[in-house]
Structure formats: C-alpha cells, structure tokens
Structure 1
C-alpha cells in the first residue's frame, strides 16, 4: 500500500486560496466555491443515473465550468481570462435551455422533484447552485471582487438545471 500524506494545514479551520493566502474555512470565498463543489457532486449523481448521452455531455461541460468558476472565486479574480466563464458559456446555457424546452415544454404548475433519480439529483444540484448564487452575491456585497458574468452564469445555470430536470423526467 502506498504512503499517505496529510498536510494538516486545515486542522485549525483555515484553508488556502489559489493565491496562497490563508483564510477561515467559514469565510465567504470558501463558502462560495465549496458550494459549487457540492453542486458538481449532485450533478455527478445525475450523470450516473442516466443513459441519455445528451444529458451526460451537458453535465460534464457544466462540471468543467464549475471548476473554472471555483478557481476564479478562490483567487479573487486574478485567474487567466481564458479560464473564466464569460458570455460564450452563458450563451451556451441559454441555447441548451431553448433546445430542451423545444423537446420537453415546461409544466405550468409547481413541480415536486423526484420524477426519477436523474431528475431529482438535477433538481438537488439546482437548489445548491441557488445557494452558491446567494453566497456569491454576499461575497460581491462584502468585497466587490466578483465579475457580473460569473453571477449571470450561476443564475442561468440554475435555470438550465430546472429545465434539464424536467427533460430528464421524460428522457433520462
């Protein structure tokens, strides 16, 4: 069995941002990017609960985006511009929403999650993204270092995940 290494640097309740700065694990940045990690994990459930390749590809692309968003949040905007979500990623989410809604129109009533495992976990990811969105707004209000495109991406992503969950109820 291989050797295990433990840094133990987080034992006192601090973590390192990508810049190397040490901050409390309870501070706004780790709260925001940690919530994105939760959402990605919930999306991983959706991915394993479906055989629909379209759903799997969308989820994989979103998970890649969430890594970029998390990186940006963990280094206070000093990340390379090509590693940031921008209008192209937001436009892609909007296009997917339109395509999914053409295939499966949204219901005109309140939806209770749980149609199947794929849709339920997509709905779970949506609610986690909404929490991440609130965390990012709090971060923006506290220190002003959040790009508007990042906030727009998260808002649109929650819309996509609602639509994807409805699509998955019929097509997963």
Structure 2
C-alpha cells in the first residue's frame, strides 16, 4: 500500500480524514480506536526490543504487521477502497494457534495473576490492557449512531483473541525467565 505525502497542518483544528469519509473529529470513537491500535503497535515494538526468545519476537513481528491491516480496516469503514487488505478468519485462526502453542507449556491457573515481573513480562501485560481498551473503543464505534458504516465484524474477534494471546505470551515469558507467577488472593490485604 502506497502512502501519499503528509498533509501537514490539516489536523491542527482537531479533525482528521479516514478512508472514504468526510472529515471526522479526532475525538470520535473511530479515531480513538485507530489511535489505540497504533499505540498498541508501538507497544509491541517496545516488547520486541525487550524479549530475548526468537520465536516470540517472530510472533510479535507478524502481529505488528497485522495491526496495520486492522487499522486500515477500521479506517475504511465505508468500503470505498475495496482493494485494501482486511482482517480475515485466517488472521484469527493464526492468533488462536499461537494461544494454543503458548498454553501447552503453561500450567492451568485458578487465580488472577498480579502483573509484576521482569520488563519483558510487564510490557506484554500492558499490551494486553491496551488491546482490551482498543476492543472497547471499537465496540463503541461500531455501536454508534453511524448507520451507514460497514464494519468488518472480524476486527472485534481479532482484538479479543489478541488480548488473550498477550496474556499467554506474558505467562510464557515469565516461565522462561524463572520468575514466579504472583497470584492475587482476596485474603491478602
């Protein structure tokens, strides 16, 4: 996908343009969802630099590339450009396969895990939380009054699975670093 040259100064008054749409405010749920997916992608870049395991890094790189497709999908809601890539069931199945792969090496848990550990663990926990925020913002956008919007429902499924994957990846990193999982208990004050 080719990018046009930057539109310097066009957003100075709080508005932006999405693919095939008129001007929208940067405070819209569409802008919030796109921005949070971008924030998540930057966080994945940070995680990539902190993680040592080559396979995890490879998985993160693929996810980072897929998040550009997800962002395009959110921005192209009127389907004005039909030749742009979209999130498909193939993307979701890939995330599900990764979840299963990471879960296989982990013991089952029965309590919440406190997000404390080495930086490679905590950055993935942050990515999980930002992913969940992106998911909530996308729901708000999809449920807004914009009846002419044609959203790809697979974008929500992708974000939902991705949040699960970050949790399992974080646990895997914790196990690999020999750092114990810290479980939350309501009995502790």
Normalising by structure 1, report the TM-score: 0.90
Structure 2 segments unaligned to the other structure (5+ residues): 1-5, 178-189
Q: Aligned residues, how many?
A: 168
Task: Work out whether residues 43 and 123 of structure 2, in 8 Å CA contact, stay in contact via their aligned partners in 1.
Answer: yes
User: Offset at 1:49?
Assistant: 0.5
Alignment of structure 1 residues 12-161 onto 2, 5 Å: 12-19=13-20, 21-78=22-79, 79-80=81-82, 83-142=85-144, 143=146, 145-161=150-166
Per-residue Cα deviation, 1:82-120 (whole angstroms, up to 9, x for no partner) = 611111111111111111011123432211113111111
Q: Secondary structure at the match of 1:23?
A: strand
Q: Secondary structure at the match of 1:15?
A: strand
Per-residue Cα deviation, 1:6-51 (whole angstroms, up to 9, x for no partner) = 7111110011213363211001111101000111111111111011
Normalising by structure 2, report the TM-score: 0.82
Task: Work out whether residues 113 and 123 of structure 1, in 8 Å CA contact, stay in contact via their aligned partners in 2.
Answer: yes
Task: Work out whether residues 106 and 163 of structure 1, in 8 Å CA contact, stay in contact via their aligned partners in 2.
Answer: no
Distance in 1 between residues matched to 2:78 and 2:96, nearest whole Å: 24
Task: Work out whether residues 13 and 25 of structure 1, in 8 Å CA contact, stay in contact via their aligned partners in 2.
Answer: yes
Moved over 4 A (4+): none
User: Offset at 1:131?
Assistant: 0.6
Q: State yes or no: 1:169 paired with 2:174.
A: yes
Distance in 2 between residues matched to 1:121 and 1:108, nearest whole Å: 23
Distance in 2 between residues matched to 1:81 and 1:169, nearest whole Å: 41
For the pair shown, the structure with the greater C-alpha radius of gyration is 2
Distance in 2 between residues matched to 1:90 and 1:55, nearest whole Å: 18
Per-residue Cα deviation, 1:108-146 (whole angstroms, up to 9, x for no partner) = 221111311111111101111101111111111113532
